Amino acid sequence: MRRKPFDQINVIPFIDIMLVLLVIVLTTATFIAKGVIPLDLPQASSATELPLKKITITITKEDKIYLDKEPVTFDILKQKLQAISKKSAILIRSDKNSRFELFIKTLDILKSQGFANISVETKR
C-alpha cells in the first residue's frame, strides 16, 4: 500500500483563528483610540469649569519654599492653594540637601487640602 504524498494543508482552522484575533484587535484599538467611554453629557446653565493648572512647589537647600517661582511661607502656601482647583497637578521639586521635615510638611498641607495629583521630581 502506497501513501499519498502530503501536498496540501487545511487552512480553514487557521483562517478562523485569524478572524477571531482580528476582531479582538479592532475592538480594543477603537477603544484605545478614543481613550474614554463615549458619553453624551447633559448641559447645565450654571456649570463652570475650574481652571486646571500645573503647580510647582520648590524647596531649596537653603530651606526656602517657592510656589511657581514666587517665595512663600507655609501660611501663604496654604492660602494660595485654597484658590486652586483640587484636580490640578502638583509637582514638588525638593533639593536633596534640604530638610526632609519641610518636604513632609509641604506634602501634609497638600493632602489636608484635598490634592491627590501630586508628583515628586527626581533625577535618573
Q: Give the pLDDT confidence of 13-26 residue by residue, as tens digits.
A: 889 999 999 998 88
Q: Which domain holds residue 96?
A: 54-120
Query: What order do you get walking across the sheet with 70-72 strand by strand?
Result: 70-72, 65-67, 54-59, 89-94, 118-120
Joined together, the cell numbers standing for residue 4 give 499519498
Q: Is 99 among the domain residues? A: yes
Task: Quote the CA–CA distance of 54 and 111 in Å, as a whole number.
Answer: 16
Q: Is 104 among the domain residues? A: yes
Whether residue 87 has pLDDT greater than 90: no
Q: Is 98 among the domain residues? A: yes
User: Residue 115 maps to which CATH number?
Assistant: 3.30.420.270
Query: Helix, strand, or coil here: 58?
Result: strand
Global model pTM greater than 0.85:
no
Q: Which residue has the higher pLDDT, 62 or 53?
A: 62
